[in-house]
Amino acid sequence: MAAVAGEPEVIRDKAAMRAWARRRRAEGKTVALVPTMGFLHDGHLSLVSAAAAASATGPVAVVVSIYVNPSQFAPTEDLATYPSDLAGDLRKLAATGAVAAVFCPPDLYVRAGAGGSGGAVSCLEEASCGDGHETWIRVERLEKGLCGSRRPVFFRGVATVVAKLFNIVEPDIAVFGKKDYQQWRVICRMVRDLDFAIDIIGSEIVREADGLAMSSRNVHLSHEEREKIVEQENLVALERIDRPAAICVAAWFGKVRLIDNMEIQTHHPDGGASI
């Protein structure tokens, strides 16, 4: 892992980001992308460390994207209150010494009549877009269960914005946290199905001292709320743990939606265990 001298370069323009990544690759570097929505914590910084150490063949140029993606929020969800601290995020990334560039575009969607710019909206619905963005990526089966059953636009928004980031940054490697387990599996399937030449690394969950999985939304938990708290690849429900499995939980505490999961790699010696 080679340290990056000085502060990371901040890039806001899509064409400039693509040109930057192509220059790094021409220099013989592996480009590793860590997509985030900002308000960074130690869990995000662990993804940066994983990205910086991801290549055994040569130097790595780590790119961290910071973009609160409006298309994965339904109108009733918390886009307007999603925490943000860009200046703090840049300080944290500079302190790692491992980040070469930060991509923080003002908008990644073509807005109706706006030529590609405009204010964030809670949900980019096709019917209201006019001549704006209308192309979506859906991982049809994997997105339906678990969180997808209650958040019908979420994984469409995730898959679409991640594909856009892949097309802009053109990374060799991308790192995602396994805390968002279904999201990670959806992205792995999208990369496989659409032939992206990108290695996807799933990084293990980083937890707070009290065991809570680190999340930008944890800041919204009250002190009292803070004290309370499938088959792996295809996310098919299992009656017995007779293959690698995952227990996935999404729960509301007050007004904050939290997710967590645990992977189970072994099974009971008698051939399985009821769950």
What positions carry a catalytic annotation? 44
CA 165 to chain centroid, in Å, comes to 11
Angle at 259 between CA 256 and CA 265, to 5 degrees: 170
Question: What are the strands, taking DSSP E only, across the chain?
Answer: 9-11, 30-36, 60-66, 101-103, 173-177, 199-203, 245-253, 256-264
- DSSP state letters, 184-196: HHHHHHHHHHTT-
Dist CA 148 CA 21 (whole Å): 33
Give the amino acid at 60: V
DSSP, collapsed to helix, strand or coil, labels residue 237 as: coil
Dist CA 9 CA 151 (whole Å): 35
